[in-house]
């Protein structure tokens, strides 16, 4: 379904599946497309989402954001199970793939295009030409594989060597690469700008052969879901605004730290948090 508002231009284009997350409290809207899009809107940008989802989850949290949906029987559905050995993630359903034809022409010139796959979708879009000032990628969905039972595990990003040199900025997590430092170094050597988020420890940024670390403020963690997606949107927005990767990383690290203190999509930054972080990193 295409919202009537989608004929308008947008500032921030998010391409990736909306997720249906199975939680002990029931089904919940999730995915990079939700967290990053809502963060970009909170930062004052006009946002559009190109995605694929079913009818399992309500989209009331996304009211006012135009959505181009590629029809599918089931939304991409994840379940996280926490054990003494850490998190086990399962993929129960996968929505339709995303193609260039799903992107409204008026949206292709968005100031920021954010490719945010969560289950392998949209790889062909890496070969598309967008008119964006910044093409940002969070490739976690291209760095996941799953077995016959749906259990998710990391895999190497197959397109990395071919596409990394021409991407504006890339944000990954240490979990995306299975904490493989050699893989991180290889990606950093190919990327213009690579950010690696490290949960409560903050983030590190590779740029122009230099590496800097950004410590996250200490917070009482309630739910870390979506923190990386909030970080990514904040980083891309601030990088576009300032052209300063160091300042963008400092801002995004501080802003994302607030998100873990609230559950689910309630973690989207508030106006007060945004203003506080902008002042603190000037």
- Reading the block at residue 162, the tokens are 């071919």
In b/e form, how buried is each residue of 76-104, taking b as 16+ CB within 10 angstroms?
A: bbbeeeeeeeeeeebbebbbbbbeeebbb
**Domains of the chain and any CATH numbers:** 4-280 (3.40.1190.20)
Matching residue, tokens 């739910």: 223
Provide the whole-model pTM: 0.94
CA atoms within 13 A on the CB side of 111: 15
- Reading the block at residue 224, the tokens are 């870390």
The whole-number pLDDT of residue 6 equals 43
Alpha-carbon gap, residue 234 to 255, rounded angstroms:
8
Radius of gyration for the chain, computed over Cα atoms and rounded to the nearest angstrom: 17
Alpha-carbon gap, residue 270 to 249, rounded angstroms:
18
- Reading the block at residue 254, the tokens are 């501080």
Residue ranges in the chain whose pLDDT is less than 70:
1-7, 282
Using alpha carbons only, what angle is made at residue 237 by residues 235 and 242, rounded to the nearest 5 degrees?
Answer: 90
Q: Could you give phi then psi for residue 6, rounded to 5 degrees?
A: -70, -10
The whole-number pLDDT of residue 259 equals 92
The whole-number pLDDT of residue 1 equals 43
The whole-number pLDDT of residue 5 equals 44
The whole-number pLDDT of residue 225 equals 85
The whole-number pLDDT of residue 4 equals 41
- Give the residue from 262, 241, 264, 263 showing the smallest Cα distance to 252: 241
């Amino acid at each position: 379904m295409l919202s009537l508002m989608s004929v308008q231009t947008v500032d921030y284009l998010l391409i990736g599946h909306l997720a249906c997350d199975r939680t002990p409290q029931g089904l919940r809207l999730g995915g990079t497309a939700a967290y990053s899009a809502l963060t970009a809107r909170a930062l004052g940008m006009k946002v559009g989402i190109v995605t694929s989802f079913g009818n399992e989850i309500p989209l009331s949290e996304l009211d006012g954001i135009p959505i181009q949906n590629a029809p599918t029987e089931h939304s991409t559905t994840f379940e996280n199970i926490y054990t003494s050995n850490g998190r086990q993630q399962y993929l129960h359903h996968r929505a339709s793939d995303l193609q260039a034809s799903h992107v409204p022409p008026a949206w292709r010139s968005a100031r920021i295009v954010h490719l945010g796959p969560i289950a392998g979708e949209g790889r062909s879009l890496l070969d598309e030409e967008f008119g964006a000032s910044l093409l940002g990628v969070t490739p976690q969905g291209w760095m996941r594989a799953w077995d016959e039972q749906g259990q998710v595990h990391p895999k190497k990003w197959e397109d990395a060597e071919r596409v990394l040199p021409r991407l504006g900025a890339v944000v990954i997590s240490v979990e995306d690469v299975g904490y493989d430092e050699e893989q991180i170094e290889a990606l950093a050597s190919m990327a213009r700008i690579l950010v690696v988020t490290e949960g409560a420890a903050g983030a590190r940024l590779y740029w122009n052969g230099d590496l800097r670390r950004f410590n996250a403020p200490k917070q009482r963690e309630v739910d870390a879901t979506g923190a990386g997606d909030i970080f990514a949107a904040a980083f891309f927005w601030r990088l576009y605004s300032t052209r300063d990767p160091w300042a963008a990383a400092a801002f995004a690290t501080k802003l994302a730290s607030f998100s873990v203190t609230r559950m689910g999509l309630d973690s989207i930054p508030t106006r007060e948090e945004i203003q506080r972080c902008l002042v603190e990193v000037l």
